[in-house]
Amino acid sequence: MYVSTILIMKYDVICLPMKKTKKTMRLIKEELDSRIEIQERSLHAYAKEIFENIGQVLSLVKLQLQTESKIPEPGKLLGKAITDLRNLTKQLSPDEIIKNGFGYAINCELKRLSEAGFCRMEFCEEGSFINLEDVKELVAFCILQQLTYPVLDIYHPGFIRMNVQYLRTSIEIEVTRIFKEVPLPLNIEEMANFKQRLSTINSSISYKNQNCNTLQITINI
C-alpha cells in the first residue's frame, strides 16, 4: 500500500492542471475516483497473491518445523517466499517503472494478475526499447494499468492483449479488452478523460477500427 500511494502521489503532482476551471476540476475528481478504484483492485489482487502464494509457502515451512515431515528444507522455501515478496514490492516502485520502462512494468503487472486468476493476457513488444522522460513513463503506466482493471474478475476472468511497438518518433500501443466474451469499449467520459491526461505528455488515444474493440495509444517521443 505504501508503494501504491507513492506512485499515485507522484502522478498527482504531474497531472494536476494549473488552471482549475470547472471542467478541469471535474476531470480531476473523475481521475481521483478512478485511481481510488484502481488502488482498491490492486490491493485486492496483491493480497490474494500474498495469501495464496507466499502465505502457502510460509504455512508449509511452519508445518515442517512442527512435524519434521519430509517437505523441502525450510531455508529453501523461506528464501522463495522472501524473493517473491521482494519482487512484488520492487516491481511496483515508481523508480523501477522509470528505470525499466512502462512496458516492462505493465507486463509484470499483467503476469501477476493472470497468475492470480483474475484475467488472461497476451503481451508483445516490438522494436528497440526506448527510455522516455520520467513523466511519460509514469503517465503511460498509470493509463495502461487503469485500462486493465475493468476486465478483472475472479469468477469471470476477462482477456487483455497489449502490443507495444517502439518506433523512431513514437511508441504505438494497441490494447484489446474482452470481458465475458464481448469487446469492452470505453464510454464517452472515459475516452475524454484519457485524452485529456495523454495530452499533458503530447500523446493521444483513439480506436484503431470501427468496431471499437482495439484502442490505439500514441506516445510521442
* Predicted TM-score (pTM) of this structure: 0.64
**pLDDT over 80 (residue 24):** no
pLDDT score of 54 more than 70: no
Name which of 83-97, 155-169, 196-210 the model is least confident about: 83-97
pLDDT digits (tens, 9 = 90+) for 109-157: 888 788 778 889 999 999 998 888 888 888 888 889 889 888 888 778 8
Query: How much is the pLDDT for 9?
Result: 41
What is the chain written as a DSSP string? Answer: -HHHHHHHHHHHHHH--SS--HHHHHHHHHHHHHHHHHHHHHHHHHHHHIIIIIHHHHHHHHHHHHH--SSS-HHHHHHHHHHHHHHHHHTT-HHHHHHH-HHHHHHHHHHHHHHTTSEEEEEEEES------HHHHHHHHHHHHHHHGGG--SSS-EEEEEEEEE-SSEEEEEEEEEETTEE----HHHHHHHHHHHHTTTEEEEESSTT--EEEEEEE-
What are the chain's domains? Answer: 2-220 (3.30.565.10)
| pLDDT for residue 92 is more than 90 | no
Q: How much of the chain exceeds pLDDT 90, in percent?
A: 20
Residue 1's pLDDT is 38
Can you give the length of the chain in residues? Answer: 221
Range 162-174 average pLDDT:
95
Alpha carbons within 13 A on the beta-carbon side of 120 = 9
Examine the pLDDT at 69 and tell me if it is beyond 90.
Answer: no
What amino acid occupies position 157?
P
Closest CA to 166 of 108, 122, 213, 220: 220
